[in-house]
């Protein structure tokens, strides 16, 4: 019995000893976390590929040091294959709308109650204390800290965003001060309020979307040279997965440009990309009644549409030159030639004048004038317009950007025609001497024929100093914008 009692006492002491060790470990652990557990910070993983990710490992690398930090993982749809997130304070935010749920539940902002946000890419690891980083950020007046991952960045990009012209241009910059975007992986630290004016703060691909919207909103970026975050795993190393990832990114970029209204982009290597209409699609705007739709949106003609108009105009010029057929620029097209040597940046068609009595000398045009529709070998559509007595040349059967060709005839030394456009105040008769000896001006990338004394001719139609003083059509209809 004495032996049994001794054994029990030993077991009791061992149990108490174990309890003390556990208690001491908790005291030690939480005393070390004392400074971090109250960080006013949310960590966000804004995107990941469902088919190849490192989300669980990324979160597991954070939890031991910052167990109380909220971590949001944003996904367009419910992840498939589905997986659970580690930690009690980690959660998915699914951006896809669900009619069974309130709309705000798909908004990441609803779940961010902290003053600061740290956005990290999937597969990254936090190396040094966030306290130090956050204190450093608070002491600076910068709006956004850009944190390099693993290594100091050697180059970056300047960015030119012109939403009025629908364009985005990147230019490589060797020195990384005052950059607008970054080529390599980075993390971002900023106040929640800094992105409250973004049209959609979590558009994908996230980092390109962030840099574009930051530029538009005048948000300055500060590159922090100290490396706080490292790469835990390099993703998409398999050729098949990498191809799948790049294809997905391209799809996301197309959607991003569509959402932000970007129809032309130029990358740092000088490679152009078009994101608007083509010969095989409809043009970017509906039929114009008086003022083009895009002017009401405080934008000019989309660059893809201007490009299509230039190509159509040059094509018509070439056909006419080859047939030795006389023409001249009319209306706003002539005004654009005199002012810009190009189409007016907010114009939506090209206007040309011809001599009606010469149509019969040009067999193809004569057939079109009589009502025969003609599609030439380059896919341009020639037809007699339904709106009146003139010819229209469209960019393609699908894309109706066009050149209008107006036949004039002389009557009592005045050039007149049979169809007048009520919405074109400059559409009027004029003395015939202006088109007796034609001149040439640069227009839409070519030399085009224009009336002689074209400045005097334009002021007759548009008013004094019309070349020097640009004005939108029907400006009174745009006043409320």
Give pLDDT tens digits for 33-59.
444 457 999 999 999 999 999 999 999
How far apart CA 134 and CA 217 sit, in angstroms, is: 23
Q: What is the model's pTM? A: 0.86
Q: Any idea of the CA torsion for 230, 236, 242, 247, to the nearest 10 degrees?
A: -80
How far apart CA 212 and CA 396 sit, in angstroms, is: 33
- Tokens for 63, please give them: 């939890």
Could you report the per-residue pLDDT of 202-240, keeping only the tens digit for each?
A: 999 999 999 999 999 999 999 888 888 999 999 999 999
| pLDDT attached to residue 18 | 59
Residue 4 clears pLDDT 80, i.e. is over it: no
| pLDDT attached to residue 195 | 95
| pLDDT attached to residue 33 | 45
The residue-averaged pLDDT of 112-133 equals 92
| pLDDT attached to residue 3 | 47
Residue 456 clears pLDDT 70, i.e. is over it: yes
Closest of 418, 468, 405, 458 to residue 434, by C-alpha: 458
| pLDDT attached to residue 458 | 96
Pairing outcome for strands 272-274 and 156-162: unpaired
| pLDDT attached to residue 421 | 76
Closest of 306, 315, 399, 389 to residue 354, by C-alpha: 389
3 state DSSP class of 328: strand
Residue 251 clears pLDDT 70, i.e. is over it: yes
The residue-averaged pLDDT of 381-393 equals 95
Question: Could you give the domains of the chain?
Answer: 37-231 (3.90.550.10), 301-477 (3.30.460)
- The chain-wide mean pLDDT, for the chain, equals 91
| pLDDT attached to residue 176 | 73
187 vs 14, residue with greater confidence: 187
Residue 173 clears pLDDT 50, i.e. is over it: yes
Q: Is the Cβ–Cβ distance between 97 and 171 less than 8 Å?
A: no
Cβ neighbours of residue 174 closer than 8 Å, sequence gap 6 or more? 154, 155
Residue 21 clears pLDDT 70, i.e. is over it: no
What is the C-alpha end-to-end distance of the chain, expressed in Å?
Answer: 98
Q: What are phi and psi of 422, to 5 degrees?
A: -65, -30
Least confident window among 52-56, 129-133, 174-178, 181-185? 174-178
| pLDDT attached to residue 480 | 58
């Amino acid at each position: 019995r004495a032996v049994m009692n001794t054994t029990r006492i030993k077991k009791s002491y061992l149990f108490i000893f174990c309890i003390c060790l556990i208690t001491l470990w908790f005291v030690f652990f939480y005393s070390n976390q004392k400074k971090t557990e109250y960080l006013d910070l949310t960590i966000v993983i804004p995107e990941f590929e469902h088919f190849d990710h490192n989300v669980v490992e990324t979160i597991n690398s954070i939890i031991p040091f910052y167990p109380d930090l909220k971590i949001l993982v944003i996904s367009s749809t419910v992840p498939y294959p589905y997986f659970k997130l580690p930690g009690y304070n980690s959660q998915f935010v699914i951006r896809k709308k669900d009619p069974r749920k309130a709309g705000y539940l798909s908004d990441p902002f609803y779940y961010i109650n902290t003053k600061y946000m740290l956005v990290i890419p999937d597969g990254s690891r936090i190396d040094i204390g966030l306290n130090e980083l956050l204190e450093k950020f608070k002491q600076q007046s910068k709006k956004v800290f850009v944190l390099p991952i693993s290594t100091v960045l050697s180059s970056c990009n300047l960015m030119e965003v012109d939403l009025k012209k629908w364009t985005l241009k990147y230019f490589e910059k060797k020195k990384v001060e005052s950059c607008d975007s970054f080529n390599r992986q980075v993390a971002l630290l900023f106040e929640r309020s800094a992105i409250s004016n973004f049209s959609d703060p979590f558009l994908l691909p996230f980092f390109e979307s962030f840099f574009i919207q930051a530029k538009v909103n005048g948000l300055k970026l500060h590159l922090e040279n100290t490396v706080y975050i490292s790469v835990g795993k390099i993703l998409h190393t398999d050729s098949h997965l990498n191809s799948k990832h790049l294809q997905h990114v391209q799809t996301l970029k197309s959607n991003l440009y569509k959402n932000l209204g970007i129809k032309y982009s130029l990358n740092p290597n000088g490679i152009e990309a078009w994101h608007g209409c083509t010969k095989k699609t409809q043009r970017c705007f509906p039929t114009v009644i008086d003022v083009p739709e895009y002017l009401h949106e405080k934008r000019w003609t989309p660059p893809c549409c201007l490009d299509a108009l230039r190509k159509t105009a040059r094509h018509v010029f070439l056909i006419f030159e080859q047939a030795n057929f006389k023409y001249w620029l009319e209306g706003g097209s002539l005004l654009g030639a005199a002012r810009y040597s190009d189409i007016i940046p907010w114009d939506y068609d090209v206007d040309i004048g011809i001599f009606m009595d010469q149509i019969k000398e040009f067999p193809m045009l004569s057939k079109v004038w009589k009502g025969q529709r003609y599609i030439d070998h380059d896919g341009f559509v020639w037809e007699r317009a339904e709106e009146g007595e003139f010819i229209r040349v469209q960019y393609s059967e699908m894309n109706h950007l066009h050149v209008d060709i107006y036949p004039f005839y002389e009557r009592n030394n005045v050039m007149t025609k049979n169809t007048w456009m009520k919405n074109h105040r400059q559409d009027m008769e004029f003395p015939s001497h202006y088109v007796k000896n034609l001149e040439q001006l640069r227009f839409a990338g070519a030399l085009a024929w224009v009336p002689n004394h074209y400045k005097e001719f334009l002021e007759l139609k548009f008013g004094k100093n019309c070349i020097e003083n640009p004005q939108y059509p029907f400006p009174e209809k745009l006043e409320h914008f």
